[in-house]
């Protein structure tokens, strides 16, 4: 199976009729193209942020459900790819160590808005 590529809002399309354009621009101008990519290109995986924007914009609940099901499958394949890449680069580790690493990587990905909201609610700490 070909390697799944993660597309962020600021990723430029490397293919197709929108080649060279940022995904965020295509989202605004041609949502149906992103839907088509999800449904027809096995290697196309939008980031969770992009996925949320796409689902929010789609007006058809049936299409939203189909897309979410497809994306769930693609995310599992992507997760497997990342695990294989991790093992190749760092060797196999026990499950507890991997879960701890995944936890810390997840914390690193939390967006700035979340931390700003936490500070507004009175939580204030430094994260190294």
Is the separation of the CB atoms in 37 and 51 below 8 Å? no
How far, in Å, CA of 18 to CA of 12, rounded?
9
Is the separation of the CB atoms in 48 and 7 below 8 Å? no
Residue 127's pLDDT band (cuts 50, 70, 90) = very low
Is the separation of the CB atoms in 68 and 55 below 8 Å? yes
How far, in Å, CA of 30 to CA of 112, rounded?
28
Around 19, how many Cα atoms within 13 Å sit in the side-chain half-sphere?
Answer: 4
> Using one digit for the tens of pLDDT, what is the confidence trace for 67-82?
999 999 999 989 888 8
Mean pLDDT for all residues in the chain: 82
Listed in sequence order, the residues at least 6 apart from 55 whose beta carbon sits closer than 8 Å to its beta carbon are 64, 67, 68
Each residue of 61-82: b (16+ CB within 10 Å) or e? eeebeebeeebeebeeebeeee
Q: What are phi and psi of 73, to 5 degrees?
A: -65, -45
> Using one digit for the tens of pLDDT, what is the confidence trace for 110-121?
555 555 665 666
- What are the sequence ranges of the domains in the chain? 5-93
* This prediction's pTM: 0.64
Q: How far is CA 101 from the centre of its chain?
A: 18
């Amino acid at each position: 199976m070909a390697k799944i590529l993660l597309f962020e809002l600021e990723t430029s399309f490397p293919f197709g009729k929108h080649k060279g354009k940022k995904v965020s621009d295509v989202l605004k101008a041609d949502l149906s193209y992103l839907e088509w990519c999800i449904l027809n290109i096995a290697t196309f995986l939008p980031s969770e942020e992009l996925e949320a924007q796409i689902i929010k914009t789609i007006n058809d609940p049936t299409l939203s459900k189909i897309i979410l099901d497809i994306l769930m499958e693609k995310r599992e394949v992507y997760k497997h790819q990342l695990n294989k890449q991790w093992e190749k680069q760092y060797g196999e580790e026990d499950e507890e160590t991997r879960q701890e690493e995944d936890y810390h990587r997840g914390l690193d990905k939390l967006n700035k808005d979340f931390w700003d909201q936490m500070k507004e609610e009175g939580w204030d700490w430094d994260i190294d």
